[in-house]
């Protein structure tokens, strides 16, 4: 898997810079200023063009998704890692996808200063995902009871074209193969000038003014000075509630998890007793378990699909009640790289991963809805061993390679 590469300029000094699509924290090599990328919704990029300057460019949009697709089938949960693009405007004249272009070329952010006519998407991302899933599902055995896509990169990528006697692909300056009729006018399709821009905001702690630090792909920034934790919103940083599981162990790394309280409809899952019943755990239900509230857990960092499911299931089944404090530890903390929104998308798969017996319960998945109500970011200490990180109390292990490899997922 390769990341999209974006060319841009430092908002402070104008020096040229290169970003990966997962980068959020940008540190300028020249002026040393740190800034954080904010975008309302999803990022919008465009492919570079080689068109003569006199041409009026038309930008054709493609939805792009990179992430995991989970499917619940008879034999269990099937997963697939996908990296797709698809027309966001239905047209038989333009290529149906970007092919490998978005990986082979350096992209740019679309800004209000960009010249050209930007076609407005007529397909929503959801519709495009539906088309793709239908195509993919024919390769799956038997019925698909539920599907969920979990990733962090939904973006809109624009490809430039211009019209002479023929329609030209402005990336290559070559006429496109599916030639539109002479009276085809792109300007008759809905669209206009771009009015979105990517904001770069200073990475200063809103509470104490300290410079917030983090890995370039961190989705949450921690203030080492005042001990606060910040998540980006479209208008700036917002303080996040968090807790830290306590430990006496040495040589630990703290891994982030999302704990999510949700209303589950279509099946009864409110208490720990309900969980024991649904997961068919070999435990005699005790009376007070009926009052012990059930909560979902998901990793807040990217890992491979099978590890993502395994960790989410194990920790959700154990419903940890260890002692926690709202104080950042003086130890290594792994960055949050999986957004809360994506963790929420994955809850139905988390539920499916522990339902038993599957034959009886999978057919119910279609009618189950999970509405998140509240969440908490929780840091859990893992002890570093030679090849793996181990959480002894919760009996969790994570191969070190799996964590390292995941940084380019
Ligand atoms: Zn700079
Ligand atoms: Zn601070």
Could you read off the pLDDT of 43-92 as tens digits, one per residue? 999 999 999 989 999 999 999 998 899 999 999 999 988 888 999 998 88
From residue 409, alpha-carbon distances to 9, 18, 301, 313 in Å are 25, 18, 11, 21
pLDDT-derived band of residue 366, with 50, 70 and 90 as boundaries?
A: very high
Gap from CA of 37 to ligand 1 centroid (Å) = 14
pLDDT-derived band of residue 406, with 50, 70 and 90 as boundaries?
A: low
Quick: pLDDT tens for 6-19: 999 998 899 999 99
| Range 177-192 average pLDDT | 78
Gap from CA of 34 to ligand 1 centroid (Å) = 8
Quick: pLDDT tens for 378-396: 999 999 999 999 999 999 9
How does the average pLDDT of the chain come out, rounded?
91
Which pLDDT score, from 0 to 100, does residue 184 have?
Answer: 73
Which pLDDT score, from 0 to 100, does residue 13 have?
Answer: 93
Q: Which residue has the higher pLDDT, 2 or 46?
A: 46
Question: Using CA atoms, how far apart are residues 341 and 125, in angstroms rounded to an integer?
Answer: 15
| Range 175-192 average pLDDT | 78
Gap from CA of 344 to ligand 2 centroid (Å) = 28
Q: What is the CA radius of gyration of the chain?
A: 24
Which pLDDT score, from 0 to 100, does residue 385 have?
Answer: 95
Residues for the chain: how many in total?
Answer: 409
Question: Using CA atoms, how far apart are residues 248 and 140, in angstroms rounded to an integer?
Answer: 47
Which pLDDT score, from 0 to 100, does residue 407 have?
Answer: 59
Quick: pLDDT tens for 83-127: 889 999 988 888 899 988 888 899 999 989 899 999 999 999 999
Question: Using CA atoms, how far apart are residues 63 and 123, in angstroms rounded to an integer?
Answer: 9
Is residue 408's pLDDT more than 60? no
Gap from CA of 36 to ligand 1 centroid (Å) = 13
Are 60 and 190 in contact by the 8 Å Cβ rule? The answer is no
Which pLDDT score, from 0 to 100, does residue 1 have?
Answer: 57
**Ligand nearest to the backbone CA of 212:** 2
Gap from CA of 343 to ligand 2 centroid (Å) = 27
Gap from CA of 21 to ligand 1 centroid (Å) = 19
Is residue 178's pLDDT more than 80? no
Which residues have a Cβ under 8 Å from the Cβ of 161 and sit 6 or more positions away? Answer: 57, 58, 59, 60, 94, 167, 168, 169, 170, 176, 186
Which pLDDT score, from 0 to 100, does residue 39 have?
Answer: 85
Neighbours of ion ligand 2 (CB under 5 A): 205, 207-208, 210, 223, 225-226
Which residues have a Cβ under 8 Å from the Cβ of 391 and sit 6 or more positions away? Answer: 380, 381, 382, 383, 397
Question: Using CA atoms, how far apart are residues 127 and 9, in angstroms rounded to an integer?
Answer: 34
Candidates 377, 355, 339; CA nearest to 256 is 377
Quick: pLDDT tens for 234-273: 889 999 999 999 999 999 999 999 999 999 999 999 999 9
**Ligand nearest to the backbone CA of 328:** 2
Tell me which residue has tokens 């624009």: 158
pLDDT-derived band of residue 180, with 50, 70 and 90 as boundaries?
A: confident
**Ligand nearest to the backbone CA of 33:** 1
């Amino acid at each position: 898997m390769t990341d999209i590469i974006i060319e841009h300029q430092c908002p402070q000094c104008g020096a040229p810079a290169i970003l990966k699509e997962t980068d959020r924290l940008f540190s300028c090599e020249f002026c040393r200023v740190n800034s954080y990328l904010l975008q309302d919704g999803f990022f919008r990029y465009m492919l570079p063009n080689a068109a003569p300057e006199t041409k009026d460019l038309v930008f054709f949009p493609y939805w792009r998704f990179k992430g995991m697709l989970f499917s619940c089938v008879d034999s269990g949960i099937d997963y697939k890692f996908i990296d797709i693009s698809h027309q966001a405007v239905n047209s038989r004249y333009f290529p149906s996808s970007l092919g490998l272009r978005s990986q082979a070329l350096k992209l740019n952010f679309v800004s209000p200063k960009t010249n050209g006519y930007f076609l407005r998407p007529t397909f929503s991302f959801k519709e495009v995902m539906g088309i793709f899933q239908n195509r993919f599902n024919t390769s799956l055995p038997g019925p698909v009871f539920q599907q969920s896509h979990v990733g962090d990169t939904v973006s809109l990528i624009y490809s430039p074209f211009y019209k002479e006697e023929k329609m030209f692909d402005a990336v290559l300056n070559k006429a496109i193969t599916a030639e539109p009729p002479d009276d085809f006018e792109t300007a008759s399709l809905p669209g206009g000038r771009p009015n979105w821009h990517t904001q770069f905001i200073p990475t200063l702690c809103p509470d104490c003014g300290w410079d917030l630090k983090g890995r370039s792909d961190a989705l949450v920034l921690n203030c080492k000075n005042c001990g606060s934790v910040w998540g980006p919103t479209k208008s700036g940083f917002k303080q996040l509630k968090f807790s830290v599981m306590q430990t006496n162990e040495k040589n630990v790394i703290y891994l982030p998890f999302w704990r999510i309280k949700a209303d589950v409809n279509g099946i009864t899952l409110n208490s720990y007793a309900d969980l024991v019943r649904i997961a068919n755990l070999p435990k005699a239900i005790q009376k007070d378990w009926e009052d012990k509230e059930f909560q979902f857990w998901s990793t807040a960092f990217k890992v491979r699909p099978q590890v993502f499911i395994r960790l989410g299931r194990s920790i959700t089944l154990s419903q940890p009640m260890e002692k926690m404090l709202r104080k950042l530890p003086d130890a290594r903390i792994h960055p949050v790289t999986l957004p809360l929104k994506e963790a929420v998308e994955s809850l139905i798969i988390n539920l499916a991963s522990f339902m038993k017996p599957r034959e009886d319960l999978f057919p119910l998945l279609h009618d189950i809805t999970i509405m998140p109500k509240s969440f908490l970011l929780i840091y859990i200490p893992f002890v570093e061993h030679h090849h793996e990180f181990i959480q002894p109390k919760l009996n969790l292990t994570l191969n070190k390679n799996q964590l390292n490899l995941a940084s380019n997922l």
